[in-house]
Structure 1
Amino acid sequence: MNEIREIALKKALLMILRPLVRILLRNGVVFSVFSELVKKVYVDVAFDEHGESGKKQTLSRVAALTGLTRKETKRLHDLKQPLNNVTGNKYNRASRVISGWLNDAEFSDAPLHPSILSVEGDRGSFAALVKRYSGDIPTKAMLDVLNAAGNVVISERGVMLVQHAFVPQADEIAKLSILGADTAELISTLNHNLVCDADQLWFQRKVSNSLIQAKDLPLFQAYAAEHSQALLEQFNLWLGEQEIPEGEDESDCHYVSLGIYYYQNKLGNQDDEVK
């Protein structure tokens, strides 16, 4: 790596780490824990993605790639992942339930116009919706998840979907799961664009302006939220129309996502940049 490229990469890394370290310190994650996780990922990625073509990856080669000792490399390679992804699965399934509610004709009056559903019933009910789109999560458990997130209103008429995006309000564990999943996807997209050919780039853009007055920030927040949600719902509708029918072969299926985020900072505040 040449010197200019190395400096640019280190600067980018420091910018990524600052907001991450804020989260870690706020949640009591000390450096030794973070360091152990980083070393584990170094070893896993070296084993999974940096072997010589046609040859089995070796401890010695991984140790050389990562700068760790051979003994440490073996220990980390044998170390199991610290946590499963139960919370992440719950988040994904809640999103799938909402998507089905918006797009499936059995549960909507028209695309993006969800019906008011009775809680129980074999067809056209919330129970039927959950059974179809959430896997093995019980009806009441999913109803509690969506209710806690502010997605639904429950009345004598039934269950009404009032918020089309699943954003956990009080579930800190779910929020941390989203932190991992969404940040990983963004960085993976950036990594793809760093190494791919020009005609293989994935879409990754943002719009920004540093001359917006404080009084106008709430206006743009509301404008951005409204139009971004509408755009995402259109993408969701398109994806739902392309989804293979239940029971068909999924061996050639791919996961895709597209995210939009809002950020603001006071002009001249270099808090998230390298000082």
Structure 2
Amino acid sequence: MSNEIQKTLTAAILKLLRPLVRLLLRNGMSYGDFADLSRWVFMDVAEKEFTLPERKQSVSRISVITGLTRKEVSRLQKIETPDDSAIAQQYNRAARVIAGWLRDSRFHTSKGTPAELSFDSGVDSFTALAKEHSGDIPPRAILDELLRVGTVEQNEDGNIRLLMEAFVPRTGEKDKLHILGTDVHLLLSTIDHNLRLGDSDPRYQRKVAYDNLPEEALPRFREMSAKKAQALLVELDRHLSAQDRDLNPKVKGSGRKQAGIGIYYFEQDMASDD
């Protein structure tokens, strides 16, 4: 690695780590805990993604790539993989139900907006919605989760009303932290792909930003960007959902891929260190 690349990478990592460390400290994670996780990830990535063609990855090669001792590599390989698959499944199924509610006209009002739904009365009920879009997760479990995170509310008549146009938990730090891990992972994976293959196989990665804006300009931009971004996501969701084989088993094709678009809003004080 050239000296210039090293300097640029170091500066980028420092920028990346600052908000992450802020979050870790706020949630009580020490440097030691973070270092332990980092060592495990270094070992795991080297073991799975930096193999030589037609050769089994060895402890010695992992040690050379990562700088970890062979003893440390062997110890880390015995540690059970950190796993939040249960949270991921819960998040994905709930998000699918919300997306289905937004795009499926059977669950809309005459004006084309998401309707209030009874829990289990008829083909346009919440139960029907959940059964179609959440797989084998019971509708009551999906409803309980959506109520818990504040995405829907249930009125005195038992009807269910959508409060947010996406599954973004308003309560529950655990759920929000899961989204952090998932979304930042996907963004970094796209950046890594473009650094490696951007000339031949680029993935869309853009932003628009200005750095001398008055505070008074931001509320309007927040509102406008949220409205336009949501409309775009709903349109793209309609297209992708029609190709998803979980929702449409008759769709043919090879392999199994995940693809999507992520949109985020940001603002910061230019006097800060970030």
- Common topology (TM > 0.5): yes
Alignment of 1:29-178 (within 5 A): 29-108=29-108, 113-121=113-121, 123-155=123-155, 156=157, 158-178=159-179
Equivalent pair of 2:244/2:251 in contact (CA under 8 Å): no
Q: CA deviation at 1:246?
A: 2.9
1:227-246 matches, cutoff 5 A: 227-244=228-245, 245-246=248-249
The offset of 1:114, in angstroms, is 2.9
Alignment-derived partner of residue 271 in structure 2: 268
| CA distance in structure 1 between the aligned counterparts of 2:268 and 2:198, rounded to whole angstroms | 34
CA distance in 2, matches of 1:127, 1:157: 13
| Per-residue Cα deviation, 1:177-213 (whole angstroms, up to 9, x for no partner) | 0000000000000000000051310000000011211
CA contact (8 A) 2:151 2:170 kept: no
Q: Is the 8 A contact 1:152 1:159 kept in 2?
A: yes
Read off the aligned partner of 2:241 and give its amino acid letter. G
Of stretches 21-30 and 109-118 in structure 1, the one that deviates more from structure 2 is 109-118
Structure 1: state its 5+ residue gaps.
Answer: none
- Cα distance, 1:112–1:186 mapped onto 2, change above 3 Å: farther
Give the residue type in structure 2 aligned to 1:6: Q
Distance 2:254 2:130 in 1: 24
Hey, what's the Cα distance between the residues in 1 that align with 2:253 and 2:80? 28
Partner SS for 1:160: strand
The secondary structure found in structure 1 opposite 2:200 is helix
8 Å Cα contact 2:103/2:234 also seen in 1: no
Question: Residue by residue, what CA displacement relative to the aligned partner does 1:222-262 show, whole Å, maximum 9, x if unpaired?
Answer: 11111111111111112123333236668523111211111
Deviations 1:25-65 (A, max 9, x none): 11111111111110101111111011110111111111111
Looking at structure 1, the residues matched to 175 and 8 of structure 2 have their Cα atoms a distance apart, in angstroms, of 33
**Map of 1:223 onto structure 2:** 224
More relative contact order in 1 or in 2 (CA 8 Å, sep 6+)?
A: 1
Q: Is the 8 A contact 1:105 1:111 kept in 2?
A: no
Separation of aligned partners in 2, 1:64 and 1:157:
61
- TM norm structure 2: 0.91
Match of 1:255 in 2: 258
Moved more, 46-55 or 138-147: 138-147
Distance 1:34 1:195 in 2: 27
- Partner secondary structure for residue 45 of structure 2: helix
Contact 1:111–1:237 (Cα < 8 Å) also in 2: no
CA RMSD of aligned residues (A): 2.1
Structure 2 unaligned blocks of 5 or more: none
Helix, strand or coil for the counterpart of 2:249? coil
* Number of residue pairs matched by the alignment: 271
SS at match of 1:199: coil
In the aligned structure 2, how far is the partner of 1:81 from the partner of 1:112? 45
